[in-house]
């Protein structure tokens, strides 16, 4: 029943859609099936006109996924488990025992938000922590983070330079951590 008051009309439309959901869904599905090319043309036209809108919505969704996961593993407010960095743009998820590359290949994913979605769908499994990008990369490349300190005193000098000009570095014989000469 059409109404002159837009609020009443909107409510009537909502109630009608709710009451006749199955009938309307079937009608829409039938139209899309019978007018498939027309439907795709309309859809592609809409996407072309709204590229920025779609991109912005996608970015908001991906940031929301990241925030949910980072807050779960890093606390509220989230911070790096190693250095305490709190800037959300720098924070990432780290596999505590390594193996992130192999895990990413296993999941067949190439981006962070798909991994965040996997963590949420799998009810936040154990074995992950929040690290800032610097700590995470250092841990991946060198096996340790420069923020970590070694409490052992059994150290050895190792010559890493093949050119003979690079000074030797100290490494802990117990934990394998490379150390500054301080």
Is residue 35 domain-shared with residue 94, that is, in the same domain? Answer: yes
pLDDT tens-digit profile of 102-124?
888 888 877 878 889 999 999 99
pLDDT tens-digit profile of 55-105?
999 999 999 999 999 999 998 899 998 888 999 999 999 988 888 888 888
pLDDT at 182 over 50: no
Boundaries of domain holding 55: 6-142
HSE (side-chain half, CA atoms, 13 Å) at 58: 9
Residue given tokens 């193996």 in the structure block: 99
> CA-CA distance, 128 to 151, in Å (whole number)?
25
Q: How high is the pLDDT of residue 178?
A: 65
pLDDT averaged over every residue in the chain: 85
β-pairing verdict for 155-158 and 169-172 = antiparallel
Q: How high is the pLDDT of residue 176?
A: 67
Is residue 157 domain-shared with residue 112, that is, in the same domain? Answer: no
Q: How high is the pLDDT of residue 152?
A: 59
pLDDT at 21 over 90: yes
Is residue 82 domain-shared with residue 133, that is, in the same domain? Answer: yes
Q: Where does 84-159 show beta strands of DSSP type E? A: 91-95, 128-132, 155-158
> CA-CA distance, 90 to 83, in Å (whole number)?
12
pLDDT tens-digit profile of 119-141?
999 999 998 999 999 988 888 88
Residue 76 lies in a domain: yes
Q: Which of 72, 97, 178, 84 is nearest to 132 (CA)?
A: 84
Q: At what angle do helices 112-121 and 100-107 cross, to 10 degrees?
A: 80
Is residue 36 domain-shared with residue 107, that is, in the same domain? Answer: yes
């Amino acid at each position: 029943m059409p109404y002159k008051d837009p609020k009443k009309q909107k409510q009537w439309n909502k109630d009608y859609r709710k009451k006749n959901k199955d009938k309307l869904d079937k009608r829409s599905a039938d139209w899309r099936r019978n007018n498939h090319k027309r439907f795709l043309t309309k859809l592609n036209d809409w996407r072309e006109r709204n590229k920025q809108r779609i991109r912005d919505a996608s970015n908001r969704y991906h940031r929301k996924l990241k925030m949910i996961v980072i807050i779960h593993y890093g606390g509220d407010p989230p911070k790096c488990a190693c250095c305490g960095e709190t800037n959300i743009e720098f924070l990432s998820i780290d596999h505590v025992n390594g193996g992130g590359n192999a895990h990413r290949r296993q999941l067949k994913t190439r981006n962070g938000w798909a991994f965040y979605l996997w963590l949420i769908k799998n009810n936040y499994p154990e074995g992950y922590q929040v690290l800032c990008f610097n700590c995470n990369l250092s841990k991946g490349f060198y096996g340790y983070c420069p923020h970590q300190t070694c409490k052992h005193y059994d150290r050895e000098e190792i010559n890493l330079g093949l050119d003979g000009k690079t000074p030797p570095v100290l490494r802990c014989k117990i934990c394998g951590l490379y150390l500054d000469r301080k």
